[in-house]
């Protein structure tokens, strides 16, 4: 059976065990889709990625991203983790930026000090969430409809919709009902109150994706990218901020968001926790 180099990294954290873990199989071109999916189910992490040779001439490398429930066309924390692992393995970008190929298309990344960051891809679906969905979303989150200040589609591949609440405390109190949310992929966000919550971050985020076999994702780059496009676009967020995620799961994820020109960059630290070889 083939043997591959393997890493397990923690994304959106400056120290191990505080972010979102990611399994990375390196040089996995010889693996078929069924084997990739089986390994992702076995790791039982929110995502497992496979680093591949690029097919597009302008790409530096290619990835396939799997959850325990299936393949994703794009996801943020695997994108940052893949880039960090590729660079650590001696990868050299063709140009000033790094270009990742994945099913959603080409994603541009760059080094950002000790972090790596990706440019938020265009939204596949945007606009207000339909009124008929609000009762289901509220019931699935255990909220009164009046507690939802706004709800927006922020789908850049996985299918996200986002809900805005008033306070960080209310976000952290949520105990969602997976059966009601079902196939919905729901992000919840609220601003931090500096007088109550401190100044380490400006927003609190949670992500619920029961349909993918992940009741709650610890720290989510794709969701934060879509949320940033929404909140900056409507003037609810500044052009540079930090989002906290994973608090309810005992993590300390920090997502660094910055607008530069027309692009919104989503970045974070990546640390290696496990390094070795895997037999598949």
Please identify which of the residues 33, 47, 204, 275 carries the catalytic annotation: 47
Q: Rounded CA gap, 110 and 129, in Å?
A: 32
Is 130 considered catalytic here? no
| CA–CA dist 100, 14 (Å, integer) | 23
Between CA 100 and CA 13 the distance in angstroms is: 21
For 74-113, letters b (16+ CB in 10 Å) and e give: bbbbbbbbbbbbbbeeeeebeeeebbbbbebeebbbbebe
Buried b (16+ CB within 10 A) or exposed e, 182-213: eebbbbbbbbbeeeebeeebbbbbbbbbbbbe
Q: Are 125 and 133 in contact (CB under 8 A)?
A: no
Strands 203-209 and 214-217: antiparallel
Residue 84 and residue 111: Cα distance in Å, rounded? Answer: 9
List residues with catalytic annotation.
Answer: 47
């Amino acid at each position: 059976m083939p043997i591959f180099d393997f890493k397990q990294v923690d994304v959106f954290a400056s120290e191990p065990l505080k972010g979102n873990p990611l399994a990375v199989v390196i040089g996995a071109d010889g693996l078929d889709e069924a084997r990739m999916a089986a390994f992702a189910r076995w790791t039982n992490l929110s995502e497992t990625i496979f680093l591949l040779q690029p097919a597009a001439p302008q790409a530096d490398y290619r990835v396939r991203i799997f959850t325990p429930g299936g393949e994703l066309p794009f996801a943020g924390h695997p994108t940052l983790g893949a880039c960090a692992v590729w660079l650590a393995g001696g990868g050299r970008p063709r140009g000033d930026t790094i270009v990742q190929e994945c099913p959603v298309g080409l994603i541009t990344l760059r080094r950002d000090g000790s972090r790596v960051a990706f440019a938020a891809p265009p939204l596949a679906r945007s606009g207000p969430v339909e009124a008929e969905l609000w009762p289901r979303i509220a019931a699935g989150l255990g909220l009164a409809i009046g507690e939802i200040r706004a709800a927006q589609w922020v789908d850049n591949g996985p299918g996200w919709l986002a809900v805005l609440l008033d306070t960080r405390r209310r976000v952290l109190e949520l105990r969602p009902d997976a059966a009601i949310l079902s196939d919905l992929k729901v992000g919840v966000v609220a601003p931090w109150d500096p007088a109550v919550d401190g100044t380490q971050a400006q927003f609190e985020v949670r992500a619920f994706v029961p349909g993918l076999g992940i009741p709650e994702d610890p720290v989510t780059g794709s969701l934060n990218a879509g949320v940033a496009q929404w909140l900056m676009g409507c003037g609810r967020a500044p052009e540079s901020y930090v989002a906290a995620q994973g608090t309810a799961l005992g993590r300390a994820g920090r997502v660094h968001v910055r607008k530069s020109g027309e692009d919104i960059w989503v970045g974070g630290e990546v640390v290696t926790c496990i390094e070795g070889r895997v037999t598949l």
